Amino acid sequence: MKTPLLILALAGLATTAPASAHGGHGGLAEAPSTGTTAKASTKGRKWLAGDHHIHSEFSASYQPDPANPAAPPLPLKGKDGRYAIVKNAEMAASFGLAWMVSTDHGGPLHSKFNFEQAYPELLHARTAVPNILIFYGMEFDTPAGDHSSLIIPFTNGEREQLRDLESRFSKREAWPNDPARDTEPKMIEALRHMRTQASPPVVIANHPSRSARDVGVYGQYTPAEFRNWNDTAPNVSVGMEGAPGHQAGALNPDGSNDPEGARGGYRNAPTMGGFDQMTARLGGFWDSMLGEGRRWWITATSDSHYNWRDGGSDFWPGEYSKTYVHARAEHADILDALRSGRIFVTTGDLVSELDVTAKVRGKRQSASIGGELAVQPGQDVEITIRLRDPATPNQGGQTPDVARVDLIIGEITGPAADRTTDRNPSTRVERRFTAADWRRQGEVLTMRHTLRNVQAPLYLRVRGTSTQEAEPTPDPRGENPWADLWFYANPIFVSLAGEAR
């Protein structure tokens, strides 16, 4: 059980973070190619922090039309999400983000509200805050599920594309309500439509276990459901929030702790180190997906509606959670990074850069986060982990140290016979690195490990923490989120030569 700590009062804390510490601009040497999965030149790519789950005042609440109770309910602007899109962009930029997605909730006929009112404000935000790349999107009301980030590619047709998808498939869009829209076949129909579009969107499942009743007892989202999505549109349905938003749920406006507050709003089955159980459990659901060889990535977001200083349960975009993508500072390459898994995530600015490289010993071929490395049976694979542990304080007024880094390995055995499974028994911590095992040069930590005599396909992934916990434990009510920080990298796949994807 973790002991909640009294957080520093942050009302007067400056919100501008140095880009070198929190924005991923420069620092470590450019990461190597992502191996056989690389689809574009790596030139100019760097780690860019962002957030794909942010609400504005266009996340409306609804009330009946007093003049016509039979008419569609009226959207009440600013009653769910509280802030203008431009305010969200300004705050995201101030906390070191380079990109963001505006993702408002739907509702009855919300596609019209989005099209006519929200989109012009998004264009205004792009002009007013040009130092952050803004995507158009929404928090999709997922048929037969909870919510998902629907990220629309940056094209001339983005406005019409979102209106088309929301109006046809969002389960809350229809008026009168249509129960047929809230079924898994409807979601499969939506994904089939999305995958064939000229510019396919990206769908990332939000807070996947928030409705779970216990560990392994899932709610609106299930393992079989995600397998069905990924099978239907692997270029669209690419992953899930590893760390959900609402992480300030245990903070009062004066910075003290609310003893009944739950991180992420997870009141039944709590988060573990701030991460969803589908990600945090070693050998759990995420590992079961990776063990099938699925490209199923994790992210971290703010889910910002209402900042904790104003009485809400949210951090500003980038204030606490960051999703880093290895990309050029352009919309298309950022979206490609999300599709391709060139992603690591962190809370509390525990790290600001993270490179993981797998290389065949004595050979030139290598792969990095999101990539694939083909080896001959019996070859050794050299793994290098290099990260930046910032020396500047985070927005909690602390300078947390990386206490440990874990290298995790799992076997790839192909499609699961049981599509409801959430376990991969082959997953193990291959090595735990502490300060005695890495080389430090200023803020940069470097550690190495060799996998010897590789005989079967596998994946490797990296996580780290500021704590002394061997595994992330369930987060108690009232926990100070700044005292329990983790980072996770998406995997590298190692295949046998001739079997690579």
Q: What are the chain's domains?
A: 19-496 (3.20.20.140)
In the predicted model, is pLDDT for residue 18 greater than 70?
A: no
Q: What is the DSSP string of 111-124?
A: HHHIIIIIHHHHHH
Quick check: 339 pLDDT over 90? yes
pLDDT category of residue 294 using cuts at 50, 70 and 90: very high
Strands 74-76 and 61-63, how do they pair? Answer: antiparallel
Q: What is the pLDDT of residue 498?
A: 74
Burial class (CB in 10 A: 0-12, 13-18, 19+), 478: middle
Q: What percent of the chain has a predicted confidence (pLDDT) above 90? A: 90
The CA-based dihedral angle spanning residues 271, 272, 277, 282, taken in that order and rounded to the nearest 10 degrees: 180
Taking 80 as the threshold, does the pLDDT of residue 382 lie above it? yes
Q: pLDDT tens digit string along 255-283?
A: 999 999 999 999 999 999 999 999 999 99
The mean predicted confidence, pLDDT, of the chain is 92
Mean pLDDT on 391-403:
97
Answer whether residue 9 shows pLDDT above 70: no
DSSP code of 3?
A: P
Confidence of residue 500 (pLDDT cuts 50, 70, 90): low
- Spatial neighbors of 216 by CB under 8 A, at least 6 apart, are 277, 422
> How far is it, in rounded angstroms, from Cα 329 to Cα 186?
35
Residue 8 pLDDT = 32
Span 91-136, pLDDT tens digits: 999 999 999 999 999 999 999 999 999 999 999 999 999 999 999 9
Confidence of residue 42 (pLDDT cuts 50, 70, 90): confident
Q: Strand (E) positions, 307-362?
A: 321-327, 343-347, 353-360
CA distance 289 to 419: 10
